Structure formats: C-alpha cells, structure tokens
Structure 1
C-alpha cells in the first residue's frame, strides 16, 4: 500500500502542475515516471486488493500522461495512452475511473471535430458512470455529449443533453467523489455550456456562461482560466463586439504567458482569426502584436 500511495501522490502533484502550467511542462516527467517507477511496481508481487489499487493508481497516472499529451498537441500518442489507461482501469475493476477516461476521450474527439465519436464516447462514459454510481461523472458525460452535438451542429440534441447535465449536477452528492474529479464544479460546467453555445454560433448566450466560468480558482487552474478568457473573447467577437473581444483577448494572451499548451495557442489563434477583418481598430492591432510572440513560443 505505501507503493500505491506513492504513485497516487506523485500523480496528484503532476496533475496540479499540468493545471497550472500546461501539458508541455509535465508530459515528459509523467511519462518518465510511468516508465521508471510505475511499470516496476506493477511487475511486483501483491495480494488481490493491493493489486487492484495499484492498477487503479497506474491507470490514473497513465490517463494524466494521455491528457498532457493531448494538451501538448500530440493527439495520436494521447489516444494510445487513453486506451492503455482504460485497460488498466478495467483490470482494477475501477468503473468510475474508466468512465472518466472515456469522458476524456470524448473531450479530445470534440476538440478535434470528430463529433460522432465524441457523442458515442460521452454516452459510453455516462453508462459507466451510472454503473459506478458517481453522479458528477454522469453530469460531466452529459455535458460532453452536448459538446459533441454542438460541434456537429445539432442544437436540439445539444440542448437536451445540457438540460440533463444540469439536472444531474444539481442533485449530485459530491461528498464521496474521487479526488481526481474535484475540478468538475459550477465554473467548469459553465465553461462547457459556453463552449457548446459558441460552437453553435450563439455568442450572446455563450457570453453569459463564459462570465460565470471565470468564477474559479485562477491560481490552481491557470490553464482553465486562460481557456475561459478565450471563450469570452470568442463570444464577444461572435456578436460583433470587436473592441471588447480584443480587450478580453489581451487578458487571455497574458494568462497564456506561463503556459506550455497547444490548446492555449489554438484558442489565441481562433481569436486572432475572428478579429483579422478588423485590423484597422487600434485594440485589434494591439492584440495581434501581443499574441504573435506567445503563439510562436507555444
């Protein structure tokens, strides 16, 4: 059990670093940890209970390797780590973690525009979450299903899934949640709602959720705050509020300074593309100049 706790604590440390600094900062470290330490422990001898706990801890570490690879733009590698993490979670009999890994796979699929796959994976995650009895993951799965529908342009199915997510989230008892789902709070849910409406071109609604998403711990979740600022800037651009979009975009650019994240770069480029027709406006020119060196670094 001390070995299991070691793996869990080191993984938790890497997760905090990932949230604060981005996947590019931690990916090599967590991969090296998997290879040099986790693999050695899995190859040891242990009783059934310890073995299950160890496999679950290894699955959690492997999922983080996948997530940091995804954030670093290494999508094929991330998918391979996700599949390996899913196998480890299955070996451990950890249905809750298996559901979370499927949800992460849906998240990546939606980001890459594979909306059918995103919906299928989110639904699979939801079924696993029901079996595990973890309402927070059920709500997460529902909002990720909504995002898949939004990416595919299906506003009716998106609205239905969002409504389901909200109902489940409001009724969820979070006291017994696994510690690794602690990030899934009201601010995170609002961000997902905002992303869905932005994907559907409903900037006026996305704005409201983007504002609510910024009610978060911007220190612990620095990358998430940068994403949410970018979402707000995109929503402003969608409704024609160009100067406000550039202003918030500047904040998003500043928040990206300490990050190494390809997703952060992509969001900044999305804002730049939306503002590119308005380079005659001084605030837009300021944004373009501000973001150029950041994008090149990322």
Structure 2
C-alpha cells in the first residue's frame, strides 16, 4: 500500500527553517527533558515521516510542541499531518525507542488486531524489520526506570492473573493449535492488559514484573499468528514483545523471543536472517545464564547452517548446543523455557541432519524426539512428520508410511496452518512412490 507524502510536515519544516537533522535533534532533546531517554531519531526518521509514516506516540505531540515554540503560534499534531487517529502502516515493525513509546505501539497493535484492520491482515514478513532496534538493545543497556503514576493501582494480583492466563492459553495452543484461541488471547491483551500499561501506577519491581508478563503473553499471541502462517502479524508481535522484555531488563526472555523470531525466519526460508537472530539469542542467553536457551539458540544456528548447506558449521553448532544442554539445570530455569528438553533438541537436530541429507542420523534423532511430553500434541505431529521424511531418505518406505499415517491421526484435532504445511510436505515427499499401494493409501488420507 502506497503512502501519501506528508506535505503539511514539509511545509512546517520550511516555515520553521529547520533541517531534517535539526528537527530530529530537537525531538530527542525534548524527549530527554521529559524522561524519554531512549529517543534516538535522526534525519532518516524525519525523511520517512515526510514520506507518509507516522511516528509512535508521544513523538507527534512533541513535534507539534517544537513547531509551536519555533513559530510562535499554536501547532497541533493534526496541523503537521499526524492526527491522533491515524495508524501507521508499519505499526509494530519498529523496535521502540523508549518504554512509553513501546506501550503506545504495542497497545495500538493489539487494538488494530482486535479491529481486524486490513493493513494488518494483509501484512507480510518484512526482512530486517526491527533489526536496528535489536542491535541497539544488545549493545546499549536500558537506562530508564520502570515506574508510573497513573490512576489505576497495579499490584501483584494483576501480574499473577496475566501469567495464569498465559499458562492456560499456552497449554491450549500446544494441544489444539492457535486457530481457535488466538482471538481470545488478543482480546484479553486489549481489554485487560492495555489499561494496566497505559493507566497503571506501579513502582520499579511491579513495573518490571508487569512488563515481563505482558511480554510473555504478547510473544504467545505472536507465536499463534506464526502457527497460522500470518507471518507479518507474527513478526510485529514478536518485535513488540522484545520491546517489553527490554523494558523489564529481562535478557533471558528477550533471548527466548529472539529464538522464536529465528525459528520463524528459518521456517519461511530466510536462513541468513534466521542465523543473525539465533546469534543474537545466544548473546542474550549467555548474559542471562539460561543454558537451555543457549542450547536452543545454538541448535537454531545449526539449522540455519544446514539450510545454507554448510555441514561443517552445522556440526560445530550442534556440538555447542549439546555442550550448553549438558550444563542446564531445569529446576533453576524460567518456566517459559520448560518445553526445551531432550526431545526438543533431538527434533531440531533431526531437522538439521535431514536437510543436510544424512538420513540415518536424522532417523536416530527423530526417534529420540518422540520420547516427548504428551502435552505437546502439535509438536508430536511435527516430529512424526519429520521421522517419516527421514525414513524416506533411507528408503524405509513401509515404516515411513506408518509414521506418516500416525502424523495424520494427530493432525485431525489441530487448528494449525503449519500442521497443514507439514502434511503438504509429506505428500510431496511421498508422491514419487504413489504407485505403491501403502503410499497411495496415505496420500489419499492426506
């Protein structure tokens, strides 16, 4: 969708005698005086606004204030082409500069999602979206204190409620897929979490707990969108979840979100981007000391190398993943990484080996992956499909059909577009053997 240039902003720049760089500097300075230390706009930001983008709140209001002072007359956000009701088409794709900007961005994203705004439904994965902000987070520590003095008191019970909702919805997602429950998750974020973030009163400890809880649930909503192959929406949610995690100063959760972003990039065929994200996840994991997360980041790194055809680098990353896995102590790690166990590591290793053409090793790892927690129904379907494809590489046609049939049995109860994609992949791999009666039977079911 093409944006209309913001001629009102151009006119005010010319009238005020300001350069793009000068306006950006004044905005950053004004933000700093208002406690918004994270603002780091530059001339390129202003150029994008002239091109039709709208910056996140509270930037439009601050820009109007700058022009008012410069011109000696009242100037509103509407006067510079940044009306409050306008929603930027890149909403959620930019990593927030500050906590206040992040709250404005993520709550606007939830609202647009509830309203099923067309620009959001039609959005696609944007390569590199949020990358500059991610690099900024990894290299520049958060400076601001997380406290607020709004009209609504936020307490421990509010944070506990969000975490309990996240736990319940996560269990349902693993059992049934994201199709039937993503809507209620987004609605809860919009109706229950938005007031806490926007109007809350809390001190430092409660503020960080609230940011962490909101980040976990936002991440889950993004993961559900990924499961539905709504990749543009998923990417925006994961970027904003990462912003919330940064606000909380939670490097471990940030690394887990980066790992999820890497997972998505690899799935849609962007291994180089996935590799960058996996390495960023590893950096965050090392800072946090969560070794299960470090193992996950390394095995994602290995998968990226496998998709790039670099067997030696893949093997080195798999070894590093196993070393990190051996150092983990699950009882001392956050609950959100509880899914990452020996079966999960085996499944990701099997993906690497299969994609490198090592069918025998892939079969061994795929068999190990099936010794998994029964609550992860969707994961079981994926792992059965993986075993079927690895067995086909080895020419074990009968056993591959048995595994494929089992995968189809599990898939029947799932509302997951990724599940359908796995089924389509099995069909494609089985098609060359369609003349075999057992294969024809599985293909008919698929």
For the criterion TM > 0.5, the same-fold answer is: yes
Higher helix share: 1
Q: Residue 284 of structure 1 aligns to a residue in which SS?
A: helix
Q: RMSD in angstroms over aligned alpha carbons? A: 0.9
How far the C-alpha of 1:145 sits from its partner, in A, is: 0.5
How far the C-alpha of 1:133 sits from its partner, in A, is: 1.3
Q: 1:65 aligns with which of 221, 225, 228?
A: 221
Corresponding position: 1:13 with 2:13: no
Equivalent position of 1:48 in the other structure: 204
CA–CA distance in structure 2, aligned partners of residues 118 and 235 of structure 1:
23
Equivalent position of 2:392 in the other structure: 237
How far the C-alpha of 1:226 sits from its partner, in A, is: 0.5
Alignment of 1:63-142 (within 5 A): 63-142=219-298
CA–CA distance in structure 2, aligned partners of residues 238 and 266 of structure 1:
19
Whether contact under 8 Å (1:116, 1:148) holds in the other structure is yes
Equivalent position of 2:7 in the other structure: none
CA–CA distance in structure 1, aligned partners of residues 377 and 168 of structure 2:
15
CA–CA distance in structure 2, aligned partners of residues 151 and 29 of structure 1:
36
Q: Residue 24 of structure 1 aligns to a residue in which SS?
A: coil
How far the C-alpha of 1:242 sits from its partner, in A, is: 2.0
How far the C-alpha of 1:240 sits from its partner, in A, is: 1.9
Equivalent position of 1:195 in the other structure: 351
Q: 1:209 aligns with which of 365, 371, 377?
A: 365
- Counting matched residue pairs gives 290
Deviates more, 1:60-69 or 1:258-267: 258-267
CA–CA distance in structure 2, aligned partners of residues 158 and 37 of structure 1:
44
Unaligned 5+ runs, structure 2:
1-155
CA–CA distance in structure 2, aligned partners of residues 238 and 23 of structure 1:
31
CA–CA distance in structure 2, aligned partners of residues 237 and 75 of structure 1:
30
CA–CA distance in structure 2, aligned partners of residues 274 and 97 of structure 1:
37
How far the C-alpha of 1:181 sits from its partner, in A, is: 0.5
Equivalent position of 1:24 in the other structure: 179
The C-alpha deviation readout for 1:83-137, integer Å capped at 9, x for no partner, is 0000000011111100000000001111111010111100000001111111111
The TM-score, its normalising length taken from structure 2, stands at 0.64
How far the C-alpha of 1:243 sits from its partner, in A, is: 2.3
Unaligned 5+ runs, structure 1:
292-298
Equivalent position of 2:323 in the other structure: 167
Moved over 3 A (4+): none
The TM-score, its normalising length taken from structure 1, stands at 0.96
Whether contact under 8 Å (1:247, 1:283) holds in the other structure is no
Equivalent position of 1:294 in the other structure: none
CA–CA distance in structure 2, aligned partners of residues 160 and 33 of structure 1:
43
Equivalent position of 2:338 in the other structure: 182
CA–CA distance in structure 2, aligned partners of residues 14 and 135 of structure 1:
26
Q: 1:271 aligns with which of 414, 426, 431?
A: 426
Q: Residue 23 of structure 1 aligns to a residue in which SS?
A: coil
The C-alpha deviation readout for 1:179-218, integer Å capped at 9, x for no partner, is 0110000011100110111111211111000000000122
How far the C-alpha of 1:280 sits from its partner, in A, is: 1.2
Whether contact under 8 Å (1:69, 1:75) holds in the other structure is yes
Q: Residue 45 of structure 1 aligns to a residue in which SS?
A: strand
Equivalent position of 2:151 in the other structure: none
Q: Which has the higher contact order (CA 8 A, sep 6+)?
A: 1
Corresponding position: 1:280 with 2:416: no
Q: Residue 235 of structure 2 aligns to a residue in which SS?
A: helix
Q: 1:249 aligns with which of 404, 412, 424?
A: 404
How far the C-alpha of 1:277 sits from its partner, in A, is: 1.4
Q: Residue 180 of structure 2 aligns to a residue in which SS?
A: helix
